[in-house]
Copies of this chain bind each other. A is one copy, B any other.
Amino acid sequence: MTVAETDGIGEHRLALQSALGDDIVLTDADAMAHYCRDWHGDVTSGAVAVLRPRSTEDVAASVRICRELGLGIVPQGGNTGLVLGAIPDMPERHVVLSLERMNRIRKIDADDFSAVVEAGCILWEMKEAIAEKGMFFPLALGAQGSCRIGGNVSTNAGGINVLRYGMTRELVLGLEVVLPDGSIFDGLSTLRKDNRGVDLKQLFIGAEGTLGIITAVSIKLMPYPDKVATALLGLASLQDAISLYRRARRDCCDLMSAFEFMPPLAFTLAREAMPDLPILIAPDYPAYVLMEISGSGLVDIDDLMQRFLEGVMTDGLVVDGTIAASQAQARNLWLIREGMNEGQARRGSHMRSDISVSLSQLASFVADAEAAILQALPDCISVSYGHVGDGNVHLNVLPPAGLAPDERAERIYRAKTVLNEVVDRYYGSISAEHGIGRLKRPDFDARLPETHRKLLTAVKRAIDPGLMMNPGCQLNFQPKS
């Protein structure tokens, strides 16, 4: 950083403080560090300042002063994203705008099956408050204790319940957004049906803050599903898991809420992170499925699970299985899934992916991709797991222990290259649920059809002509100089 740039930062900080006040503007490097580091700790950056508005009007004022100063704004929720969508890549030109203080639940209306919440609400806390009213918000993902609903909407988060309830997009009834010109888009209606023309709010869902800053969300609620049956099943192959999913969709109708597949390695990894975790099934079947059926009211969920499993075991589709006999046992089954992630993290930096292909091709995709990686990187291990119903696989590649950092980085880079080549062959998506952020921008950019690019650029320039909203995220809209 040159002296002139440092001076520029100083002036910008003074201007921000004078416009917004010390309560909102953080500039201390230590205090800012937490907002400028990604969830995995892979990347550390900085910012001109971190702004922490308490209200929609504060956000609007923040946008106006940043615009005046020519600063880019990187909106941030719980900072749990996995693709560097909320971390500035030009510390001397960007501010982070954290929504964490806008965390009020404005309304939970059980009679109306809706709620209005501010962007900074932590997903889990919000779900707990909703559950207290007998209602349910189905979004469920690993980071739910830290992620915030504004970030979930901005990234159109997925998670384990998508097969039944859809992505976050399908759970949103309305949005309040501060636009790049500092005006407030008030679309917080809770109407279930509203067909008044082009649905503008859709633009901001999944835009990762590149078109405006989501400050509040109205959402759909469901009756709380107080009956849950959870089973861990051992199968002869991933292909059988897919056949099982199809059968479960028909047999269990719309009452299935999760259907996750895992390899046997999941148990090893989970035990590395949680040595005392009970494993209630033989750990050496070629494939496992963690399945959940849930509901409320008059449907006997336990009986449904029992009869379903009897049928598929009789037919040989499932080789072995265990149904959780208590909530604690169900929790332990889910801990295998979570422990597997923690176990991977303990093996050091590795390649993570988030791919979707068509359901029909999921098994052959995993086989082809794992074979390609084994051939290119014989000393690495592939771990494939994910959401069968969504054709969504997280195929991760773990380099062996004892490699030097640059050797690990080289393995990770090559693994990604090999994997993406297979993804392209299957017409798959390189981001099923995590978004693009800055991490996947080059891969996204390289695959973007020309018509998509023109349309995306036209929309971006129409709504954010100053290109100040989350610059560098998703696409670099700067004209090439």
Residues of A within 8 A of B (CB): 109, 111-114, 155-156, 158, 162, 164, 166-167, 169-170, 179, 183-187, 189-200, 202-203, 205-208, 210-211, 222-223, 225, 246, 249-255, 295-299, 304, 307-308, 311, 356-360, 387, 389-392, 427-436, 444, 449, 451-452, 454-456, 458-459, 461-463, 474-475
Identical copies in the complex: 2
Using known A-B contacts A253-B255, A255-B299, determine if residue A210 contacts B196 with beta carbons closer than 8 Å: no
Name 19 A/B residue pairs within 8 A (Cβ), A-sorted: A162-B193, A185-B455, A191-B357, A192-B389, A193-B391, A194-B356, A195-B432, A195-B436, A196-B430, A198-B474, A200-B456, A251-B297, A251-B298, A254-B295, A298-B304, A298-B308, A299-B299, A459-B459, A459-B463
Apart from A179-B451, A198-B459, A458-B462, 13 more pairs, CB < 8 Å = A156-B195, A156-B199, A158-B193, A162-B192, A192-B391, A193-B429, A194-B431, A195-B434, A196-B429, A198-B207, A202-B205, A252-B299, A298-B307
The 4 A-B pairs of least Cβ separation, nearest first, read A462-B462, A202-B202, A251-B297, A253-B295
Closest to A166 in B: B170
Residues of B near A307 (CB, < 8 A) are 298
Q: Are B253 and A455 in contact (CB under 8 A)?
A: no
Q: Which residues of the other chain, B, contact A158 by a CB distance below 8 angstroms?
A: 193, 195
Contacts of A298 in B (CB 8 A): 251-253, 304, 307-308, 311
Looking at the assembled complex, report how far the CB atom of A352 sits from the nearest CB atom of chain B, in whole angstroms: 15
Given A198-B474, A203-B203, A456-B197: A191 and B254 interface contact (C-beta under 8 Å)? no
Complex: chain B residue closest to A475, CB-CB:
B197
Contact A191 B253 (CB under 8 A): no
Q: Contacts A155-B195, A304-B299 hold; do A200 and B432 have CB atoms under 8 A apart?
A: no
**For residue A181, which residue of chain B has the nearest CB?**
B454
Contact A431 B297 (CB under 8 A): no
Q: Give the contacting residue for A112; candidates B169, B197, B360; CB below 8 A.
A: B360
- Per the bound structure, the CA–CA distance linking A357 and B187 in Å amounts to 15
Do B111 and A191 touch (CB < 8 A)? no
Least Cβ–Cβ distance between A293 and chain B, in angstroms: 10
- Residue numbers in B under 8 Å from A297 (CB-CB): 250-253
Other-chain residue from B179, B451, B474 in contact with A197 (beta carbon distance below 8 A)? B474
The smallest beta-carbon distance between A142 and chain B, in angstroms, is 16
Hey, which chain B residues are within 8 Å of A206, CB to CB?
195, 197-199
Docked CA distance A459–B311 (Å): 53
Partner pick for A185 among B196, B253, B451, CB 8 A cutoff: B451
Of the candidates A250, A251, A428, the one having the most CB atoms from chain B within 10 angstroms of its own CB is A250
A246: chain B residues within 8 A (beta carbon): 111
